[in-house]
Amino acid sequence: MITAMEERIGSVIRFFEKTSVAAVKLEFGDLSVGDTVRIKGSSSDFTQKIEMMEFDHQPVQKAIRGQFTGIKLSHPVKPFDLVYKVTG
């Protein structure tokens, strides 16, 4: 049996409701299009594959630790929600 592992990589800074994009600060790890993330907060807890990321309103394929990135999400989130990368 394979168990998924979660590694905290950052947190939500802001959520833009009209576009359903979360601004995320990557404090502990990298993130790429195609990765799976789990967003967990006081009112949210869901897992989603990253299909679109942007930086400064331009599409990007990868963001590294220390950067801010925008990720398109299927559910609303709140500032300070934690972002985990799911592997395995």
Which two tokens mark 70?
A: 């925008």
Parent domain of 70 = 5-87
pLDDT surpassing 70 at residue 2: no
In this structure, are residues 50 and 31 in contact, taking their beta carbons and an 8 Å threshold? yes
**Total domain count, the chain:** 1
pTM for this structure?
Answer: 0.93
CATH number at residue 63: 2.40.30.10
In this structure, are residues 36 and 24 in contact, taking their beta carbons and an 8 Å threshold? no
pLDDT value of residue 4 = 80
pLDDT value of residue 37 = 98
Report residue 10 CA to chain centroid gap.
8
pLDDT surpassing 80 at residue 3: no
Other residues' Cβ atoms within 10 Å of the Cβ of residue 76 = 14
